[in-house]
Protein backbone atom coordinates (compact mmCIF):
# COMPACT_ATOMS: atom_id res chain seq x y z
CA UNK A 1 0.00 0.00 0.00
CA UNK A 2 1.15 3.52 -0.78
CA UNK A 3 0.21 6.52 1.36
CA UNK A 4 0.46 9.87 -0.44
CA UNK A 5 0.22 13.22 1.34
CA UNK A 6 -2.16 15.62 -0.40
CA UNK A 7 -1.61 19.10 1.04
CA UNK A 8 -4.99 20.75 0.42
CA UNK A 9 -3.95 24.10 1.89
CA UNK A 10 -1.75 25.91 4.36
CA UNK A 11 -2.83 28.84 6.51
CA UNK A 12 -1.93 30.70 9.65
CA UNK A 13 -4.34 29.87 12.49
CA UNK A 14 -6.72 32.82 12.66
CA UNK A 15 -6.50 33.26 16.45
CA UNK A 16 -3.54 33.95 18.77
CA UNK A 17 -1.76 30.67 19.50
CA UNK A 18 -1.97 31.18 23.28
CA UNK A 19 -5.77 31.37 22.96
CA UNK A 20 -5.90 28.15 20.95
CA UNK A 21 -3.45 26.29 23.18
CA UNK A 22 -3.92 27.56 26.76
CA UNK A 23 -0.68 26.91 28.63
CA UNK A 24 1.47 27.80 25.60
CA UNK A 25 4.94 29.02 26.67
CA UNK A 26 8.27 30.01 25.18
CA UNK A 27 9.48 26.47 25.82
CA UNK A 28 6.78 25.10 23.51
CA UNK A 29 7.66 27.73 20.91
CA UNK A 30 11.39 26.95 21.03
CA UNK A 31 10.80 23.20 20.68
CA UNK A 32 8.45 23.69 17.76
CA UNK A 33 10.88 26.00 15.94
CA UNK A 34 13.59 23.38 16.34
CA UNK A 35 11.61 20.23 15.57
CA UNK A 36 8.82 21.35 13.24
CA UNK A 37 9.76 24.73 11.70
CA UNK A 38 7.27 24.06 8.91
CA UNK A 39 4.49 24.77 11.43
CA UNK A 40 5.91 28.14 12.53
CA UNK A 41 4.83 31.33 10.75
CA UNK A 42 7.19 34.25 10.20
CA UNK A 43 5.77 36.14 13.20
CA UNK A 44 6.02 33.08 15.44
CA UNK A 45 2.34 32.21 14.94
CA UNK A 46 0.90 28.83 14.09
CA UNK A 47 1.19 27.75 10.48
CA UNK A 48 -1.15 24.84 9.78
CA UNK A 49 -1.15 22.38 6.94
CA UNK A 50 -4.39 20.70 5.88
CA UNK A 51 -3.47 17.20 4.75
CA UNK A 52 -5.60 14.51 3.22
CA UNK A 53 -4.04 11.12 2.65
CA UNK A 54 -4.53 8.95 -0.43
CA UNK A 55 -4.14 5.22 0.16
CA UNK A 56 -3.68 3.16 -2.96
CA UNK A 57 -3.34 -0.57 -3.13
CA UNK A 58 -3.63 -2.14 -6.56
CA UNK A 59 -6.98 -0.98 -7.89
CA UNK A 60 -8.32 0.32 -4.55
CA UNK A 61 -8.14 3.99 -3.61
CA UNK A 62 -9.12 5.31 -0.21
CA UNK A 63 -9.07 8.95 0.86
CA UNK A 64 -8.63 10.01 4.48
CA UNK A 65 -10.33 13.40 5.06
CA UNK A 66 -11.33 15.85 2.36
CA UNK A 67 -9.62 19.09 3.40
CA UNK A 68 -10.91 22.64 3.69
CA UNK A 69 -12.83 22.67 0.43
CA UNK A 70 -13.39 25.19 -2.35
CA UNK A 71 -13.44 28.99 -2.39
CA UNK A 72 -16.66 30.24 -0.82
CA UNK A 73 -17.02 27.23 1.48
CA UNK A 74 -17.00 27.52 5.26
CA UNK A 75 -13.46 26.15 5.66
CA UNK A 76 -11.98 28.42 3.01
CA UNK A 77 -13.81 31.43 4.47
CA UNK A 78 -12.54 30.68 7.99
CA UNK A 79 -8.95 30.30 6.87
CA UNK A 80 -8.80 32.93 4.13
CA UNK A 81 -7.52 30.50 1.53
CA UNK A 82 -8.93 27.72 -0.60
CA UNK A 83 -8.15 24.05 -1.02
CA UNK A 84 -6.85 22.33 -4.12
CA UNK A 85 -7.56 18.66 -3.42
CA UNK A 86 -9.24 17.94 -6.79
CA UNK A 87 -6.11 19.14 -8.64
CA UNK A 88 -3.89 17.06 -6.39
CA UNK A 89 -5.96 13.93 -6.96
CA UNK A 90 -5.86 14.53 -10.71
CA UNK A 91 -2.08 14.99 -10.55
CA UNK A 92 -1.89 11.69 -8.68
CA UNK A 93 -3.77 10.06 -11.56
CA UNK A 94 -6.97 9.42 -9.60
CA UNK A 95 -10.42 10.48 -10.82
CA UNK A 96 -13.18 10.96 -8.21
CA UNK A 97 -15.03 7.80 -9.25
CA UNK A 98 -11.96 5.71 -8.48
CA UNK A 99 -12.19 6.58 -4.78
CA UNK A 100 -13.96 3.62 -3.21
CA UNK A 101 -13.83 4.83 0.37
CA UNK A 102 -13.62 8.20 2.08
CA UNK A 103 -12.75 7.98 5.77
CA UNK A 104 -13.62 11.06 7.79
CA UNK A 105 -11.52 11.21 10.93
CA UNK A 106 -14.21 13.57 12.17
CA UNK A 107 -16.73 16.02 10.71
CA UNK A 108 -15.07 19.42 11.05
CA UNK A 109 -15.05 22.00 8.28
CA UNK A 110 -11.35 21.50 7.55
CA UNK A 111 -11.67 17.72 7.16
CA UNK A 112 -14.89 17.39 5.17
CA UNK A 113 -14.63 20.44 2.88
CA UNK A 114 -14.59 18.54 -0.44
CA UNK A 115 -17.23 15.93 0.54
CA UNK A 116 -19.89 17.45 -1.68
CA UNK A 117 -19.88 18.84 -5.21
CA UNK A 118 -22.88 21.13 -5.53
CA UNK A 119 -25.71 19.03 -4.09
CA UNK A 120 -24.26 15.53 -4.57
CA UNK A 121 -21.35 13.58 -3.12
CA UNK A 122 -18.14 14.50 -4.98
CA UNK A 123 -16.96 10.90 -4.85
CA UNK A 124 -19.93 9.18 -6.51
CA UNK A 125 -18.89 5.62 -5.87
CA UNK A 126 -17.40 5.98 -2.42
CA UNK A 127 -18.64 4.92 0.97
CA UNK A 128 -18.03 7.76 3.40
CA UNK A 129 -17.07 6.17 6.72
CA UNK A 130 -17.59 7.78 10.12
CA UNK A 131 -17.98 6.53 13.67
CA UNK A 132 -21.49 6.26 15.13
CA UNK A 133 -20.47 8.60 17.97
CA UNK A 134 -19.49 11.23 15.41
CA UNK A 135 -22.80 11.01 13.58
CA UNK A 136 -24.64 11.34 16.90
CA UNK A 137 -22.51 14.40 17.66
CA UNK A 138 -23.13 16.24 14.37
CA UNK A 139 -26.66 15.16 13.45
CA UNK A 140 -28.88 18.23 13.32
CA UNK A 141 -25.94 20.63 13.07
CA UNK A 142 -24.82 22.92 10.25
CA UNK A 143 -21.92 20.53 9.65
CA UNK A 144 -24.33 17.68 8.98
CA UNK A 145 -26.25 19.82 6.52
CA UNK A 146 -23.09 21.01 4.74
CA UNK A 147 -21.01 17.86 4.63
CA UNK A 148 -23.16 14.78 5.29
CA UNK A 149 -26.80 15.21 4.30
CA UNK A 150 -26.20 14.71 0.57
CA UNK A 151 -23.97 11.72 1.33
CA UNK A 152 -26.58 10.23 3.65
CA UNK A 153 -29.43 10.79 1.17
CA UNK A 154 -27.39 9.16 -1.61
CA UNK A 155 -27.04 6.06 0.58
CA UNK A 156 -23.26 6.52 0.70
CA UNK A 157 -22.82 7.07 4.44
CA UNK A 158 -21.33 4.08 6.24
CA UNK A 159 -21.51 4.32 10.01
CA UNK A 160 -19.18 2.08 12.01
CA UNK A 161 -18.97 1.54 15.74
CA UNK A 162 -15.50 1.00 17.18
CA UNK A 163 -12.45 -0.62 15.61
CA UNK A 164 -13.11 -1.56 12.00
CA UNK A 165 -10.97 -3.31 9.39
CA UNK A 166 -11.08 -1.62 5.99
CA UNK A 167 -8.96 -3.64 3.58
CA UNK A 168 -5.35 -3.09 4.58
CA UNK A 169 -6.30 -0.18 6.85
CA UNK A 170 -7.84 -0.24 10.30
CA UNK A 171 -10.00 2.43 11.90
CA UNK A 172 -9.38 3.00 15.59
CA UNK A 173 -11.50 5.36 17.71
CA UNK A 174 -9.45 8.16 19.31
CA UNK A 175 -12.08 10.41 20.91
CA UNK A 176 -11.66 13.71 22.69
CA UNK A 177 -11.11 16.20 19.86
CA UNK A 178 -14.67 15.20 18.95
CA UNK A 179 -16.69 12.33 20.46
CA UNK A 180 -16.37 10.12 17.37
CA UNK A 181 -12.88 11.09 16.23
CA UNK A 182 -10.95 8.16 14.72
CA UNK A 183 -7.47 7.46 13.35
CA UNK A 184 -6.46 5.22 10.44
CA UNK A 185 -3.74 2.63 11.02
CA UNK A 186 -1.78 1.46 7.96
CA UNK A 187 1.50 -0.40 7.47
CA UNK A 188 3.17 2.88 6.45
CA UNK A 189 1.84 5.32 9.05
CA UNK A 190 -0.86 6.06 11.57
CA UNK A 191 -3.01 8.81 10.02
CA UNK A 192 -3.94 10.76 13.10
CA UNK A 193 -6.52 13.37 12.06
CA UNK A 194 -6.68 15.90 14.89
CA UNK A 195 -5.55 13.58 17.69
CA UNK A 196 -2.97 16.31 17.97
CA UNK A 197 -3.30 19.57 16.09
CA UNK A 198 0.02 21.21 16.98
CA UNK A 199 3.38 19.43 16.99
CA UNK A 200 4.14 20.55 20.56
CA UNK A 201 1.28 18.31 21.71
CA UNK A 202 3.43 15.33 20.76
CA UNK A 203 6.15 16.48 23.15
CA UNK A 204 3.60 17.68 25.74
CA UNK A 205 0.39 15.58 25.25
CA UNK A 206 -1.25 17.40 28.16
CA UNK A 207 -1.18 20.67 26.19
CA UNK A 208 -4.86 20.89 25.31
CA UNK A 209 -6.45 22.58 22.32
CA UNK A 210 -9.33 24.91 23.16
CA UNK A 211 -11.69 23.26 20.66
CA UNK A 212 -11.35 19.74 22.02
CA UNK A 213 -14.81 18.64 23.15
CA UNK A 214 -13.41 16.53 26.02
CA UNK A 215 -9.86 17.66 26.89
CA UNK A 216 -9.08 14.84 29.36
CA UNK A 217 -10.19 12.21 26.88
CA UNK A 218 -8.20 13.94 24.13
CA UNK A 219 -5.02 13.82 26.24
CA UNK A 220 -5.52 10.09 26.80
CA UNK A 221 -6.13 9.46 23.10
CA UNK A 222 -2.97 11.42 22.19
CA UNK A 223 -0.88 9.29 24.49
CA UNK A 224 -2.45 6.06 23.23
CA UNK A 225 -2.11 6.89 19.53
CA UNK A 226 1.51 7.99 19.90
CA UNK A 227 2.28 4.82 21.84
CA UNK A 228 0.60 2.78 19.11
CA UNK A 229 2.64 4.42 16.32
CA UNK A 230 5.81 3.93 18.37
CA UNK A 231 4.99 0.27 19.02
CA UNK A 232 4.31 -0.37 15.32
CA UNK A 233 7.47 1.50 14.33
CA UNK A 234 5.62 3.74 11.87
CA UNK A 235 5.30 7.54 11.75
CA UNK A 236 2.30 9.41 13.09
CA UNK A 237 0.86 11.67 10.40
CA UNK A 238 -1.84 14.00 11.78
CA UNK A 239 -3.70 16.35 9.45
CA UNK A 240 -2.15 19.70 10.37
CA UNK A 241 1.54 18.99 10.82
CA UNK A 242 4.03 19.91 8.15
CA UNK A 243 5.60 16.45 8.30
CA UNK A 244 4.87 13.12 9.95
CA UNK A 245 6.35 12.50 13.39
CA UNK A 246 8.71 9.72 14.27
CA UNK A 247 7.94 8.49 17.80
CA UNK A 248 10.73 6.63 19.56
CA UNK A 249 12.42 6.41 22.95
CA UNK A 250 14.03 9.82 22.49
CA UNK A 251 10.60 11.39 21.96
CA UNK A 252 8.81 12.83 18.93
CA UNK A 253 10.69 14.35 16.01
CA UNK A 254 9.79 15.36 12.47
CA UNK A 255 10.41 12.72 9.81
CA UNK A 256 11.28 15.47 7.33
CA UNK A 257 12.59 19.00 7.69
CA UNK A 258 10.58 21.90 6.34
CA UNK A 259 11.51 22.77 2.79
CA UNK A 260 10.19 26.31 3.18
CA UNK A 261 6.86 28.01 3.73
CA UNK A 262 3.85 27.01 1.68
CA UNK A 263 2.11 23.84 0.62
CA UNK A 264 4.15 20.69 0.54
CA UNK A 265 4.60 18.71 -2.66
CA UNK A 266 2.64 15.48 -3.11
CA UNK A 267 4.89 12.86 -1.57
CA UNK A 268 4.67 9.35 -0.24
CA UNK A 269 5.15 8.60 3.41
ZN1 LIG B 1 -8.53 19.92 11.85
ZN1 LIG C 1 1.44 20.31 3.73
The string of DSSP letters for 135-154 reads HHHHTTSHHIIIIIHHHHHT
CB 243 within 8 A of CB 23: no
- Who surrounds ion ligand 2 at CB < 5 A? 7, 49, 264
| Nearest bound ligand to the CA of residue 266 | 2
pLDDT of residue 194: 98
- Look up residue 264 and give its DSSP letter: P
Q: What is the pTM of this model?
A: 0.96
Per-residue pLDDT, averaged over 245-250, amounts to 84
| Nearest bound ligand to the CA of residue 36 | 2
CB 154 within 8 A of CB 16: no
Q: CATH for 2-257?
A: 3.60.15.10
Residue 114 burial (CB < 10 Å; 0-12/13-18/19+)?
buried
pLDDT of residue 266: 76
SS3 (DSSP) at 208: coil
pLDDT of residue 44: 83
CA of 258 to the centre of ligand 2 (A): 10
Does the structure show a pLDDT above 90 at 56?
yes
Of 33 and 249, the one with more pLDDT? 33
Sketch the domain layout of the chain as residue ranges. 2-257
Encode pLDDT of 58-82 as tens digits: 878 999 999 999 999 999 999 999 9
CA of 109 to the centre of ligand 1 (A): 8
Encode pLDDT of 103-152 as tens digits: 999 999 999 999 999 999 999 999 999 999 999 999 999 999 999 999 99
| Nearest bound ligand to the CA of residue 84 | 2
Please, what is the end-to-end C-alpha distance for the chain in angstroms? 11
pLDDT of residue 261: 64
Q: What is the mean pLDDT of the chain?
A: 94
Q: How far apart are CA 256 and CA 13, in angstroms?
A: 22
CA of 67 to the centre of ligand 1 (A): 9
Q: How far apart are CA 121 and CA 152, in angstroms?
A: 9
Per-residue pLDDT, averaged over 8-14, amounts to 94
| Nearest bound ligand to the CA of residue 196 | 1
Amino acid sequence: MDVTVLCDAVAVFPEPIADALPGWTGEHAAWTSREMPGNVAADGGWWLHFHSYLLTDGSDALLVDTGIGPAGGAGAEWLGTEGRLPELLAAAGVVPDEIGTVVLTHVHLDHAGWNIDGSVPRFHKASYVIQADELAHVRGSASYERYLRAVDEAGQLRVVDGETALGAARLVPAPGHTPGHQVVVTEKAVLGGDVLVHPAQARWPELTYVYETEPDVAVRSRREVMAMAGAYGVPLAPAHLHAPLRIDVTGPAAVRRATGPGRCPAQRI
